[in-house]
């Protein structure tokens, strides 16, 4: 990187950056902090350390059901959206297609349309087709939300890919499928893992679509939403939220690291 | 998607250019591309286009008892146009999202600037750090602000136990301020990424040239950095303003009666009020307004940029 004049550190900006990060993270950190607080009320001063709220969660049947629902939906969504993402990213980068940029814009549309509109639109579609609301309808909703992220994660992978590698493999006698398996796939593999982790996390945390499309089986965020009405449930909601936050942070952190392997120099 | 055209040129293996066979193969390539795209496109069409068309049709229906009167009328649209509550809700939603958008972009700009120009090692780590919270549950991030701003929340109880205030500050929770603070915090990542990308792209030699020609840091920023980063500012504004206008979680948890937005009203029509056609009409009206505002915004910034240039 050039830019000799700008090498000199800018103190105020540095301080601003640190404050920015603190403000960005602090709100979320209060949730785990109060989840260990030995009081029904979320307020200072803290009352002492307890694992009581976590213990309560452990024995609750509905929490486990909701968790299992969220995992089922998340796994299916991450597998399908990543598979479709791989296929789409491959088509976008490899083939010359008229109207390609319009197609890409179309795929990315869910990113710039209020989630509520997608939610009600899908709800109306399902009800007109007579499809009862269930985990399947939630899965369809999450698929729409996750696809743009899958494609966006996979595109740079396929773009940074040298097509002459595939040609070499073909010249050496591999057929199309083997070339894909042995040359293309290993090179885009980190992107595939990253996409699966990200789409799983998005689905696992997603609330807006689930709100409109859930039937009788709630996902975990829907369960939390239902519990927010009861003040006495506040501490156990905090405990559950802390666990979810921890898992999401870990998954996304790993996904981001893996997704950039070999692409580090590009940014 | 400027990169795609590049890779497209790279990935275009047309060794038989010119011959008829080549033309056929070439068309086959295109066909194969479309074929690969088709599953994704089918899902997106079924998931986006079809529901939208049905939503549009439903917006011309009316409620009848527990069902719908499917004769097409513009009754709902007339109601939205004439009854003041809808106009008030819409303008309040746009006001809240507008303020949140401006605040987010202003607050994130220096941060993106810092990472783009002053961080030289571990840039990637900084970007991950700045965007990580965005991937965690939106519901939980909003919930966190309820914990902080609540009547007996972190701020109030903290200030009280320090003896700085006697009674809880009531304006914190259930107000437009609470909604704006929460939205600005929750959508920060959406501002940072486009701002960072546009700042990073700026050719550093331009800045050196400006310095050599005698511009101070402020003039240099105003004349070079800011205009060149405008695409990022515009993208960030869109990415925050559009989704937040339809938000209903934040106003539902933190807004109170003064902070209710159009999203809450739409959700009510599909829930307790059970007037789906009205909900559909409101969704369509919201979409139309968003498109109109986006177009005006684009037009104004385009004009402003032309004036500068």
**What are the structural domain ranges in chain B?**
12-40, 85-308
The fourth-level CATH superfamily of domain A43-259 is MetI-like (1.10.3720.10)
CA contacts within 13 A on the Cβ side of B130 = 30
For residue A156, what pLDDT is reported?
Answer: 83
Residue of B nearest to A126 (CA): B51
B contacts of A118 (beta carbons < 8 Å): 47-48, 51
pLDDT-derived band at A265 (thresholds 50, 70, 90) equals very low
Checking if the pLDDT of A7 tops 60, the result is no
Residue of B nearest to A222 (CA): B139
Six-digit token string for B72? 């097409």
For residue B10, what pLDDT is reported?
Answer: 43
For residue B214, what pLDDT is reported?
Answer: 83
Contact B283 A238 (CB under 8 A): no
Q: How far is B239 from chain A (nearest CA, A)?
A: 6
For residue B26, what pLDDT is reported?
Answer: 58
A contacts of B8 (beta carbons < 8 Å): 93, 96, 100
Per DSSP, the residues of B78-107 read HHHHHSHHHHHHHHHHHHHHHHHHHHHHHH
Residue of A nearest to B152 (CA): A43
Residue of A nearest to B186 (CA): A24
In angstroms, the CA A37 to CA A47 distance is 6
Walk along chain B (309 residues) in steps of 10 and give the mean pLDDT of each run: 42 48 63 84 88 93 84 90 92 95 96 90 85 84 87 83 82 86 91 90 86 85 88 91 91 87 93 91 94 90 78
Angle (nearest 5°) at CA B157 between B155 and B159: 65
In angstroms, the CA B250 to CA B47 distance is 25
Residue of A nearest to B276 (CA): A124
Contact A112 B238 (CB under 8 A): yes
Which pairing describes strands B62-64 and B67-69: parallel, antiparallel, or unpaired?
antiparallel
| A·B CB contacts under 8 A | 282
A contacts of B188 (beta carbons < 8 Å): 24
Among candidates A10, A117, A212 on the partner chain, residue whose Cβ is nearest the Cβ of B287 = A117
Q: What is the ipTM of this complex?
A: 0.82
In angstroms, the CA A81 to CA A195 distance is 8
Provide Rg for chain B, Cα atoms: 25
Q: How far is A254 from chain B (nearest CA, A)?
A: 10
For residue B25, what pLDDT is reported?
Answer: 54
For the ranges A1-5, A158-162, B76-80, which has the lowest average pLDDT? A1-5
The neighbour count for residue B139, using CB atoms within 10 Å, is: 25
Q: How far is B168 from chain A (nearest CA, A)?
A: 12
Checking if the pLDDT of A71 tops 90, the result is yes
The neighbour count for residue A220, using CB atoms within 10 Å, is: 28
Q: Does residue A46 belong to the interface with chain B, where contact is any CB pair within 8 Å?
A: no
Burial code (b: 16+ CB inside 10 Å, e: under 16) for A30-62 equals bbeebbbbeeeebbbeeeeeeeebbeebeeeee
For residue B12, what pLDDT is reported?
Answer: 45
Q: Does residue A12 belong to the interface with chain B, where contact is any CB pair within 8 Å?
A: no
Residue of A nearest to B187 (CA): A24
Domain ranges of chain A: 43-259
For residue B32, what pLDDT is reported?
Answer: 79
Contact B4 A100 (CB under 8 A): yes
A contacts of B30 (beta carbons < 8 Å): 95-98
Q: How far is A184 from chain B (nearest CA, A)?
A: 14
Contact A28 B140 (CB under 8 A): yes
Checking if the pLDDT of A63 tops 80, the result is yes
User: For all residues of chain A together, what is the average pLDDT?
Assistant: 85
For residue B9, what pLDDT is reported?
Answer: 43
The fourth-level CATH superfamily of domain B85-308 is MetI-like (1.10.3720.10)
3-state secondary structure of A115: helix
* Alpha-carbon separation of residue B142 from A104, A206, B137, B227 (angstroms): 31, 13, 9, 34
Mutate to test the interface with B, among A47, A114, A258 (most CBs of B within 10 A): A114
Mutate to test the interface with A, among B33, B104, B293 (most CBs of A within 10 A): B33
Mutate to test the interface with A, among B30, B45, B48 (most CBs of A within 10 A): B48
Residue of A nearest to B182 (CA): A27
Contact B132 A253 (CB under 8 A): yes
Contact B280 A144 (CB under 8 A): no
Contact A120 B110 (CB under 8 A): no
A contacts of B207 (beta carbons < 8 Å): 3, 5-6
For residue A107, what pLDDT is reported?
Answer: 87
- Cβ pair B256, B172 in contact under 8 A: no
């Amino acid at each position: 990187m050039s830019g000799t004049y700008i090498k000199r550190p800018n103190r105020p900006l540095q301080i601003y950056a640190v404050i920015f990060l603190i403000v960005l993270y602090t709100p979320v950190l209060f949730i785990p902090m109060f989840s260990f607080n030995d009081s029904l009320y979320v307020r200072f001063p803290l009352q002492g350390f307890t694992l009581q709220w976590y213990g309560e969660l452990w024995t609750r049947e509905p929490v486990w059901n909701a968790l299992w629902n969220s995992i089922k939906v998340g796994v299916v969504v991450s597998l399908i959206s990543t598979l479709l993402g791989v296929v789409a990213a491959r088509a976008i980068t490899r083939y010359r297609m008229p109207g390609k940029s319009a197609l890409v814009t179309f795929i990315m549309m869910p990113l710039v349309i209020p989630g509520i509109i997608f939610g009600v639109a899908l709800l109306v579609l399902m009800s007109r087709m007579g499809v009862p609301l269930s985990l399947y309808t939630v899965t369809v909703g999450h698929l729409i939300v996750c696809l743009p992220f899958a494609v966006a994660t996979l595109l740079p992978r396929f773009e940074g890919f040298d097509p002459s590698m595939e040609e070499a493999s073909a010249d050496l006698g591999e057929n199309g499928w083997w070339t894909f398996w042995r040359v293309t796939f290993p090179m885009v593999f980190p992107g595939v893992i990253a996409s699966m982790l990200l789409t799983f996390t998005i689905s696992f945390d997603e609330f807006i679509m689930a709100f409109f499309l859930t039937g009788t089986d709630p996902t975990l965020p829907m369960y939390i939403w239902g519990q927010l009405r009861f003040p006495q449930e506040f501490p156990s909601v905090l405990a559950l939220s802390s666990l979810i936050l921890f898992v999401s942070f870990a998954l996304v952190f790993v996904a981001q690291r893996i997704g950039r392997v070999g692409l580090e120099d590009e940014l | 998607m400027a990169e795609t055209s590049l890779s497209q040129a790279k990935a275009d293996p047309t060794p038989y250019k010119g011959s008829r066979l080549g033309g056929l193969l070439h068309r086959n390539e295109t066909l194969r591309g479309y074929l690969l795209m088709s599953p994704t496109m089918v899902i997106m069409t079924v998931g986006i286009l079809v529901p939208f068309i049905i939503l549009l049709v439903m917006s011309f229906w009316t409620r009848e008892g527990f069902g719908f009167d499917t004769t097409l009328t513009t009754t709902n649209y007339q109601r939205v146009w004439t009854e003041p509550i809808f106009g008030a809700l819409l303008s309040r939603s746009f006001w809240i999202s507008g303020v949140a958008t401006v605040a987010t972009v202003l607050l994130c700009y220096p941060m993106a600037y810092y990472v783009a120009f002053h961080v030289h090692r571990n840039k990637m780590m900084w970007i991950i750090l700045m965007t990580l919270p965005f991937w965690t549950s939106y519901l939980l991030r909003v919930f966190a602000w309820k914990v902080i701003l609540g009547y007996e929340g972190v701020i109030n109880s903290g200030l009280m136990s320090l003896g700085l205030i006697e009674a809880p500050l009531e304006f914190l929770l259930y107000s437009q301020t609470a909604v704006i603070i929460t939205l600005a915090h929750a959508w920060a990542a959406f501002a940072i990424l486009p701002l960072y990308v546009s700042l990073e792209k700026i050719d550093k030699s331009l800045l050196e040239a400006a310095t050599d020609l005698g511009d101070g840091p402020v003039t240099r920023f105003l004349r070079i950095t800011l205009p060149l980063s405008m695409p990022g500012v515009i993208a960030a504004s869109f990415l925050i303003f559009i989704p937040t206008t339809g938000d209903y979680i934040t106003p539902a948890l933190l807004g109170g009666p003064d902070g209710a937005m159009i999203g809450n009203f739409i959700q009510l029509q599909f829930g307790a009020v059970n007037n789906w056609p009205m909900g559909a009409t409101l969704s369509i009206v919201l979409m139309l307004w968003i498109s109109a505002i986006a177009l005006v915004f684009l037009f104004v910034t385009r004009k402003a940029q032309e004036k500068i240039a």
